[in-house]
Amino acid sequence: MLAITCPGQGSQTPGFLAPWLELPGVSDRLHWLSTVAGIDLATHGTTSDEETIKDTAVAQPLIVASGLLSLLALFDHPADGFRVVGAGAGHSVGEITAAAAAGVISAEQAMVLVRERGRSMAAAAEVTPTGMSAVIGGDEGEVLAAIESHGLTPANVNSAGQIVAAGTLEQLAALAEAPPAKARVMPLKVAGAFHTEHMAPAAKELAHLSRAVSTHDARVPLISNVDGEVIHSGQEVLRRIVTQVSNPVRWDLCMETLGDLGVTGIIEIPPAGTLTGLAKRSLKGVEVLALKSPDDLEKAQQMVREHGSARDASQPTWRLVTAPVKGMVEITSSEPGTEVAAGHVVARISSLRDTREVRADHAGTVVEWLVEDGDPVSPGQPLLRLHPQGSLA
């Protein structure tokens, strides 16, 4: 199974977009996305210096646009990707890239959302001097305790041995002066304490904007930063993108789900590198590729052929209720022929970590259960087949 991962803020480097603009049609497409975003992405992706592209209002649209452009180069047509990609995931702002790539929102909607996300997060960051630092190594429990003792938030839990602390610059300085045992603290090139309470004003603004955004259900299963769950509902994908602005990113759980899904190959789209490094350490035996420049396209296309699984992308995912996590399933809904409303709890899945409710994203009639009560299930596994609009005709 092939997965596509989309990086977040901090992955950008000066000039990283320049080689992509040499491909036919890419410059014109970038000009269109720049017009929608109201920002000169070509300049920022080619000649702007490191300090300029560190600006949140610049970095976020630049990252999303570059990812979407690279996918157009990787696949001749979006439908080609829908048929062979088994899962998608984005880190922080990369979730907007993933949502557009999976057909939940259009490229234009993505650029408007990320433009306002970047602006509002930059504005929130100006209220109080804040930042983020990666804590590398150490015992996870001790690291989390140290972060909490300094009044900081574990804003990104990226993998075993890499947790990002966020808060005021004074709090981060105190952590750096007294790091947890066997750990080192590295300041990150970001302009604020993202995914913390400091971003609450930005989340509020994005929530207001999102109410006017129309969505489609994901054509490719998406893995959420919130908890590593597999999400199909377009409205739920959008809701989580909004709330994630002021809540921690659990990339460790996303990678765990990738492993549970049976992913055998991962391509990270530009500006690539960070997520590939994390996958190499956490997902042993999975082939990974950082798609950094057009020079990597041949290798990426080979991976698509080797790891992609052909499937019928026209089959609407909302006809199936799937498992969001792994565990043991407890069926709570009724027999075939029963009507269920949108949001109805049809099952629960229990694991060693917790118990999650499984809800029907759309109203419909129960056609058949694809599992039995007490069966072990994996993320993305179909549980229940629903016929939409309550008709079996």
Q: Does position 247 have pLDDT exceeding 90, yes or no?
A: yes
Tell me if residue 92 is catalytic.
yes
Q: Per residue in 103-162, pLDDT tens?
A: 999 999 999 999 999 999 999 999 999 999 999 999 999 999 999 999 999 999 998 788
Residue pLDDT, tens place only, 187-197: 987 778 999 99
pLDDT higher for 361 or 35? Answer: 35
Token pair, residue 153, equals 């938030």
The conformation of residue 329, written as its DSSP 8-state character, comes to: E
Alpha helices in the chain (DSSP H): 26-37, 41-46, 50-54, 56-74, 78-84, 94-101, 107-127, 140-149, 169-177, 200-210, 234-243, 251-261, 274-282, 297-307
Mean pLDDT of 380-392: 71
Question: Catalytic one among 92, 133, 224, 246?
Answer: 92
Q: Which helix (H) or strand (E) holds 293?
A: none
Q: Is the pLDDT of residue 201 over 70?
A: yes
Residue 85, pLDDT above cutoff 70:
yes
**Which residues on neighbouring strands pair with residue 387, listed in sequence order?**
365
Q: How far apart are CA 107 and CA 125, in angstroms?
A: 26
Judged against a pLDDT cut of 70, whether residue 313 lies above it is answered with no
Instruction: Look at residue 361 in the predicted model and tell me its pLDDT.
Output: 81
- Report the amino acid identity of residue 279: A
- pLDDT, residue 391, reads 39
Residue 303 — very low, low, confident or very high, per pLDDT cuts 50/70/90? very high
195 is catalytic: yes
The three-class DSSP label of residue 262 is coil
CA distances from residue 231 to 95, 186, 196, 219, 316 in whole angstroms, order as listed: 12, 33, 23, 11, 14
Residue that is written with structure tokens 């000169």 in the block: 40
Residue 311 pLDDT grade (very low, low, confident, very high; cuts 50, 70, 90): low
Q: Give the amino acid at 219.
A: R
220, 225, 227: which is closest to 351 by C-alpha?
227
Ordered structural domains, the chain, with CATH: 2-124+197-307 (3.40.366.10), 127-187 (3.30.70.250), 317-388 (2.40.50.100)
Structure token pair of residue 247: 């809540």
Cβ atoms 269, 252 nearer than 8 A = no
Check pLDDT > 60 for residue 390.
no
Q: Tokens for 27?
A: 């410059």
SS3 31: helix
Does 319 have pLDDT greater than 80? no
Mean pLDDT of the chain: 91
Summarize pLDDT for 324-362 with one digit per residue, the tens. Answer: 888 999 998 777 878 888 888 999 999 888 898 998 887
Catalytic, out of 195, 232, 344, 362: 195
Flag whether pLDDT at 219 surpasses 60: yes
Looking at per-residue confidence, does 129 or 392 come out higher? 129
